Amino acid sequence: MPKRSTVKKKRRSKAEQRAESLEQILDAAEYLFSRHGLHGVTLRDVAHRVGIHTTLLHYYFDDKRNLFEAVFARRAGETSRLRMAAMHQYELDSAGRPTVEGALHAFLDTDLDLYMRGGEPWMNYGAFCARVSNTTEGAALMDAYFDPVVLKLVNLLKQALPDYSDADIFWGYHFVTGALMTTLGRSGRIDRLSGGVCRSNDFAAVKKRIAKFMAAGFLALKER
């Protein structure tokens, strides 16, 4: 049984070694945390999945909570940045007259594209975030990393709906994020419920519908 580093005999620099180990650990932790949550995963589980000893996790990440946050932080910047850029671009393109649907396309489709393009690691990260988002503990992480991008969306929505109350805007966003998080969670329930007509992994099907669906919802709040 060869050690994992002897498979490729190529001599690795320490920086490379470090980076590779960090990434393998984060990938394994991301996968496991996304399915079982912080408390449903032991450091042994993570170490075993990587093929290392649990002490190495402490060497790189100090403790479990810190590893959890590192998983969250690793990709948060990229999704945030891409959505921010997409909304900024849309704001320019719409020349001061953004629509609800346009804003939602920039916010939602950009994110769904990222998960589809990113393959399994990004899909796992999406499920991880979905899990974090509906817990009280995890909420602080969401606040810290995603408030700016959400508030940017809210700002566009307010421009598109100048006569709306803040309450209508924020509750509408609340429904949007609920739909998005349930999508990212991919629990498999919609697959069974629909008898296979829908598949949890089919983000393309969601992307085809979600922005239009939610935009109509916002517009309907006026007539109340």
Partner DNA sequence: ATTATCTATAGATCTATAGATAATGC
How far the first Cα of the chain sits from its last, in Å, is 69
Looking at residues 61 to 90 of the shown chain, list those that interact with DNA (rule: CB under 7 A): 62-65
Select the binding partner of residue 205 from DNA, a copy of itself, none (C-beta < 5 to 8 A, by kind): a copy of itself
- 3-state helix, strand and coil shares in percent for the chain, rounded to the nearest 5: 80, 0, 20
Nearer to DNA, 54 or 94 (CB): 54
Q: How far apart are CA 193 and CA 173, in angstroms?
A: 26
Q: How far apart are CA 217 and CA 201, in angstroms?
A: 24
Nearer to a copy of itself, 28 or 130 (CB): 130
Residue at token pair 């921010």: 84
Least spacing, CB of residue 51 vs DNA, in Å:
7
CA distances from residue 131 to 46, 144, 188, 221 in whole angstroms, order as listed: 18, 16, 14, 29
Q: Which two tokens stand for residue 174?
A: 């609340």
Least spacing, CB of residue 101 vs a copy of itself, in Å:
9
Q: How far apart are CA 115 and CA 219, in angstroms?
A: 28
Nearer to a copy of itself, 38 or 70 (CB): 38
Contact between 1 and DNA (CB under 7 A)? no
Choose the binding region for DNA from 52-60, 136-144, 151-159, 164-172 (rule: CB under 7 A). Answer: 52-60
Measure the CA dihedral 164/165/171/176, to 10°: 30
Contact between 13 and DNA (CB under 7 A)? yes
Interface with DNA (CB under 7 A), residue from 37, 49, 54, 219: 54
Least spacing, CB of residue 222 vs a copy of itself, in Å:
10
How many residues of this chain interact with DNA, rule: CB under 7 A?
Answer: 26
Residues of this chain that bind DNA (CB under 7 A): 3, 5, 11-15, 17-18, 21, 41-45, 52-56, 58-59, 62-65
